Structure 1
Amino acid sequence: MGSLVYGSPGAALEIDDRLLAHLQLVIVTKLRRNEQFLLSWDSEGAYDNGHTAVWINPSIPLHFKYVGSKRPTLNRAWSEALMDAANSAGGLRAVPEPAGE
């Protein structure tokens, strides 16, 4: 499990390395275009249930930390689905990876 760290000192969101690699591609692409957007996720844990959303802005520090030593391969269809979500009013959120990819 890698993590996405946003802000300073930084709030960390634990994410599977494969999903994190796809989110990194989408987030970096949007920030390179100087596009701000909403990132949201559901939390399900013993002490953390609910929904969280943060506004992603180029002026806020952002770190992608991976646990695995290998770079995950990227699935173009999944990247496009995540980009579609990021461009929607609901913002970027994890969507299932398309089957058979």
Structure 2
Amino acid sequence: MGSLIYGGGDDAIHIEDRALAHLKVVIATKLRRNESFTLSWRHPEEDPAGRSTIWLHPSIPLRFTFEEPETPQLNMRWIEDLMHSANSSGGIQLIDEVLEAPAN
């Protein structure tokens, strides 16, 4: 389980490593363009039920921490889907990964 630490505080947002690796690509792209946006997610099962949203801005400190030392192979379709939501008025919605069906 990875963590997103936002705003220099001690409160970590826990996100599965694979999802966090994909989010990192999208968030870094948006912030590199000096764009602000929201990020929304459903709380993990071990947390109280609900969902949260944060406002991401290039001037606010952000840190990604991963449990796994190796970077996973990235799914470009998932990155594109996350980027599409990032560019919408609702901001990034952390959606589940869609896996491609094997070709027959």
The question of a shared fold, defined as TM-score above 0.5 by the shorter chain, is answered with: yes
CA RMSD of aligned residues (A): 1.6
Question: Post-superposition shift, 1:46?
Answer: 6.0
Q: Displacement, 1:44? A: 4.8
What's the counterpart of residue 43 of structure 2?
43
Letter in 1 for 2:34: N
Q: Does 1:78 align with 2:82?
A: no
TM-score, reference length from structure 1: 0.90
* Farther-moved stretch of structure 1 (43-52 vs 90-99): 43-52
Give CA-to-partner distance per residue, 1:25-48, whole Å, 9 cap, x none: 000000000010011112254652
The answer for the alignment partner of 2:87 in structure 1 is: 87
Q: How many residues align?
A: 101
Q: Which residue of 1 aligns with 2:17?
A: 17
Deviation sequence 1:44-89 (CA, Å, 0-9, x none): 5465222211110011110000001211111111100000011111
CA distance in 2, matches of 1:93, 1:27: 12
Q: Deviations over 1:2-31 (max 9, x none)?
A: 111111224211111111010000000000
Q: 1:22 aligns to what SS in structure 2?
A: helix
Amino acid paired to 2:94: A
Stretches of structure 2 lacking an aligned partner (at least 5 in a row): none
Gaps of 5+ in 1: none
**TM-score (norm: length of structure 2):** 0.88
Instruction: Give SS of 1:100's match.
Output: coil
Q: Secondary structure at the match of 2:48?
A: coil
